[in-house]
Amino acid sequence: MHGEERAQTKKSDRAVFLQEFLKNPRQVASIIPSSRFLERRVVELAEIRRARTVVELGAGTGGTTKAILAAMSPDAKLLIMEINPHFCALLGRIKDERLIVHRGSAQELQNAIFLYGLAAPDVVVSGIPFSTMSHIAGARILKAISSALVPGGRFVAYQLSSQVDDLSRPLLGPARVEVEFFNIPPLRLYRWDKGDGKHSPSPEAL
């Protein structure tokens, strides 16, 4: 894609992102897509290059998706769980045989993995805004992620608030936390490693 085409695509993506934010700010939770600095940081923190099965929750217009695909090995698979139909339509235009776009809630993660015959994910990346959903819904999503990941698998979330940390702690323990300032707004990045021998789920999380 030439520079002018890329600029037009980014402009169009931003317009769609803004429209969807105005329709449902609790679901989208941002007025513009992630910056390339955040996308690069997510890929590095999640160690995408080592993964064979990757799941992305809340892919939006696909900026992070493209960064993940660029870093993935040729034989890896990327499953997207996106609830917004307009974003799903945009994501469906990405031409890559390794990509599977599934319209549905992140709570249905394990069902989607089974549906497409995928191996348990090495990495789950999430941009969905845990701060705008109910505690019950957030806890269900985090339980689905924790259950789906392989032992030693990585969960990376980029968020405005610390709610995801509060929800994940009973299941995955304390997170490694970084901040990406070159994003609007600046976001925290959290990483958990499942089954690293440092933490066992608390009884209330099981």
Could you tell me if 62 and 78 are in contact, meaning their C-beta atoms sit under 8 angstroms apart? no
Residue 114: predicted pLDDT: 97
Residue 205: predicted pLDDT: 54
Could you tell me if 137 and 67 are in contact, meaning their C-beta atoms sit under 8 angstroms apart? no
Cα(200)–Cα(169) distance, rounded to whole angstroms?
A: 10
CA 115 → CA 100, 108, 112, distances in Å?
A: 11, 10, 5
pLDDT band at residue 195 using 50, 70 and 90 as cut-offs: confident
Domain ranges (residues) in the chain:
35-205
Tell me the pTM: 0.82
Res 201 pLDDT > 60: no
CATH class held by domain 35-205: alpha beta
Residue 14: predicted pLDDT: 54
Residue 28: predicted pLDDT: 45
Residue 178: predicted pLDDT: 97
Reported as a single tens digit per residue, the pLDDT across 176-188 is: 999 999 998 899 9
Quick one: what percent of the chain has pLDDT higher than 70?
A: 79
Count of other CB atoms within 10 angstroms of residue 122? 21
Count of other CB atoms within 10 angstroms of residue 98? 15
Res 86 pLDDT > 70: yes
Res 5 pLDDT > 50: no
Cα(77)–Cα(56) distance, rounded to whole angstroms?
A: 11
Mean pLDDT over the full length of the chain: 85
Residue 61: predicted pLDDT: 87
Cα(149)–Cα(126) distance, rounded to whole angstroms?
A: 13
